[in-house]
Amino acid sequence: MHTDTLRSLAAKRGLLIGTAFCSGAFKHHPEYGDLIAREFNCLVAENDMKLDVLQPVRGQFDFSRPDVMMSFARKHDMKVRAVPLVWHIALPAWAEGKTFSRNEALDILREHIFTVMQYYRGQVIAWDVVNEALSDKEPGLRKEGPWYNSIGTDYVEQAYHMAHEADPQAVLFYNDYNMDCMNDKAGRCYMWIKELLARGVPIHGIGLQCHFQLEWPPAKAALSDNIKRFNDLGLIVHMTELDVWLAKDASADHLLQQAEVYCDIFQAALSAKDCPAILLWGLADCHSWIPGQTGGKYDHALIFDRQYRPKPAYAAIAALLRGDR
């Protein structure tokens, strides 16, 4: 009978293993915090660091929700990733659907980035400065949201320069989805980031979100090759929002297959040159965004079930980290 936890096993392999933290779940379920503190050594706010939460009224900042997570992380000696400073979603009413003058929008981003980064200065290991800016289908940025509509295509690099100015020591990431393996979007992201780096834009890391479905599991080699090419640009890679979705009526066998997929992903991180953090997008299936997002079609995406019991993926990841598989 093994008594190791994922966090102790991960630490021995030099890996951060994290989860998305939900302050509401923490408040209402005592077992939630206990399990997180036992099994994880890294946190990210699922929603509490987004613009709608931090700046519900323009110019008035409210850090009360993320501060719950930050003090929990301090108490339990955990690292924190901070996300996201600039996104086209999770906007407060004063920004949703709005277009500002270019200068006004730049001022808004500047005030937000400086205020948030200086408030949490020295307390986080990485900042996702811009989240999900790339178009899913065509070359270039997605043409939506107040920042693109008001500032134009250079809003991304403006944001990185501001973040670097706000805290020159901060480690700055670009984070996106559906670009975990060697697909078209990943290729476009790679070329774009390479170009931004060549122009001196301060980007230090890439967040691969890693939302996967069991029907379309990642090919381990394609995940490794993608990590490698970003590492070869001198960038750190984090897996930032990992989950593996099953059909709603998944069987015991599907849970075993899910465990294999989780292991492949952890293996890709462990064998990479520089992929030192894997964060799951939630603790237990009862808190996952997946059923809500998919109209109930998918579920069971995490490594703990609705009663906070470990699923086969938990044991498989532990065995992998222990060196037993």
Q: How far apart (Å, rounded) are the C-alpha atoms in residues 258 and 324?
A: 18
User: Which residue, 15 or 53, is less far from ligand G3I as judged by CB?
Assistant: 53
Site stretch for ligand G3I (CB under 6 A), options 46-54, 55-63, 249-257, 313-321 = 46-54
Q: How far apart (Å, rounded) are the C-alpha atoms in residues 125 and 114?
A: 17
Contacts with ligand G3I, 195-224, as mask; x by CB under 6 A: --------------x---------------
Question: Residue length, the chain?
Answer: 325
Return the closest-CA partner of residue 135 out of 177, 89, 181: 177
Q: How far is the CB of 60 from ligand G3I (least distance, A)?
A: 18
Among residues 132, 144, 195, 215, the one annotated as catalytic is 132
Q: How far apart (Å, rounded) are the C-alpha atoms in residues 92 and 279?
A: 26
**Do 245 and 216 contact (CB within 8 A), yes or no?**
no
Q: Which of residues 13, 26, 37, 47 is near ligand G3I by CB under 6 A?
A: 47
Q: Which of residues 2, 56, 58, 89 is near ligand G3I by CB under 6 A?
A: 89
Q: How far is the CB of 47 from ligand G3I (least distance, A)?
A: 5
* Count of residues that bind ligand G3I according to CB under 6 A: 10
Q: Six-digit token pair at 246? A: 């099953």
Does 90 engage in binding with ligand G3I (CB under 6 A)?
yes
**Do 128 and 85 contact (CB within 8 A), yes or no?**
yes
Q: Which of residues 111, 289, 308, 310 is near ligand G3I by CB under 6 A?
A: 289
Distant-in-sequence, close-in-space partners of 162: CB < 8 Å, separation ≥ 6: 109, 110, 113, 114
3-state secondary structure of 284: strand
Q: What amino acid occupies position 81? A: R
Q: How far is the CB of 87 from ligand G3I (least distance, A)?
A: 7
Site stretch for ligand G3I (CB under 6 A), options 3-11, 43-51, 71-79, 312-320 = 43-51
Distant-in-sequence, close-in-space partners of 24: CB < 8 Å, separation ≥ 6: none
Other CB atoms closer than 10 Å to residue 97's CB: what's the count? 9
Q: Where are the alpha helices (DSSP H) in 131-275?
A: 146-151, 155-166, 184-198, 220-232, 252-271
User: Which residue, 47 or 257, is less far from ligand G3I as judged by CB?
Assistant: 47
Within residues 224-243, the interface with ligand G3I by CB under 6 A covers 241
User: Which residue, 19 or 209, is less far from ligand G3I as judged by CB?
Assistant: 209
Contacts with ligand G3I, 133-172, as mask; x by CB under 6 A: ----------------------------------------
Residue ranges that bind ligand G3I, judged by CB under 6 A: 46-47, 50, 89-90, 131, 177, 209, 241, 289
